[in-house]
Amino acid sequence: MKILQLPRCITLPICAVLFSTTTAALADIKVQGHRGARAERPENTLAAFQYALDAGVDVLELDLGVSKDDVLMISHDPIINNFCLRDGKPPAQSIPLRSQTLSQLKELDCGSVKNPEFPNQVLQPGEPMATLEELFQMLARSDTKISKEVTFNIETKLLPIRSELTPSAEHFARLLVDKIQHHKLQRRVVVQSFDYRTLKWVKKLDPSIETSQLTIRNFVDMVPALKSINAQYISPDWKSITKEMVQEFQANGFRVAPWTANTVESWDALVAMGVDEIITDDPVALISYLQRKGLRP
């Protein structure tokens, strides 16, 4: 992003207009709370999403799996991970979400195990695995401005080589699109995935829902790939892009939302590249950083 220089003002009214216009031009990097705000709260829990909302994020980023009875569960992994306990213990074996009913998954405590990567994480004992329906309902019940305006970046978790862990791409997309449409949130949701198949199905089922292609390394020309699936975003590993790549994506009409940047050094690099959004585990710190830089009101 080019930092604008304020011209010399002739009169106070002109100064006010110029300052207002410049500030608006600068305040355009959206903050996405990764898995809610896992630097501060257990990931993908309603507590993490509420913390992110209180911090003032623009976007709630989250992951989905699907239960045995076709309920959309908010979970990064298609198996029950070691951050969720049953009867006070982590799972003794890899248990797919797809093998468990909603009632079985609701027996889990996903708020009592601290992620060692995030020493400031505040535990929320007894916090259950959440459903997408519960998150949408939580925001619908709130009368705060941010709850009415925040958007969602929802990742479908599929493993093509482990197809037994998830529904088919078509079925997964249908479950998600039905839920989005039921809550009339088409204009507030971006569906993202490393697996382009769900993105294609989302567009087929409801072209109004925006999509984002997640990437780890850009070893191919991504512009034609993005156009082929009618995506609106690319979401690359932040370490895998350059300013020239960002400019090329944007020149072709794509917004750039890199993941997952948690340090001042990474934010400096991404601001210099001119990205549109930043996905972070620590939205409070990123918002404070952008404010100090004059890049956020």
Cβ pair 159, 78 in contact under 8 A: yes
Give me the pLDDT at residue 219, please: 77
pTM of the model: 0.91
Residues ≥6 apart with Cβ < 8 Å to 120 = 39, 40
How many angstroms separate the CA atoms of 132 and 122, rounded? 22
User: What are the structure tokens assigned to 69, written together?
Assistant: 């009875």
Is residue 81 a part of any domain in this protein? yes
Cβ pair 67, 99 in contact under 8 A: no
Is residue 82 a part of any domain in this protein? yes
Is residue 9 a part of any domain in this protein? no
Is residue 11 a part of any domain in this protein? no
Which residue pairs from 82-87 have beta carbons closer than 8 angstroms and sit at least 24 positions apart in sequence? 82/113, 83/42, 83/43, 83/110, 83/113, 83/115, 84/108, 84/109, 84/110, 84/113, 84/129, 85/109, 85/110, 85/112, 85/113
How many angstroms separate the CA atoms of 283 and 289, rounded? 10
How many angstroms separate the CA atoms of 206 and 131, rounded? 22
How many angstroms separate the CA atoms of 217 and 1, rounded? 23
Is residue 5 a part of any domain in this protein? no
Give me the pLDDT at residue 92, please: 83
Give me the pLDDT at residue 20, please: 35
Is residue 137 a part of any domain in this protein? yes
Tally of domains within the chain: 1
pLDDT tens string 158-206: 999 999 999 999 999 999 999 999 999 999 999 999 999 999 999 999 9
Is residue 67 a part of any domain in this protein? yes
Coil vs helix vs strand at 259: strand
Q: What is the CATH number of the domain that holds 154?
A: 3.20.20.190
Is residue 207 a part of any domain in this protein? yes
Give me the pLDDT at residue 217, please: 85
Residues of the chain with pLDDT under 70: 1-27
What range does the domain containing 252 cover? Answer: 28-292
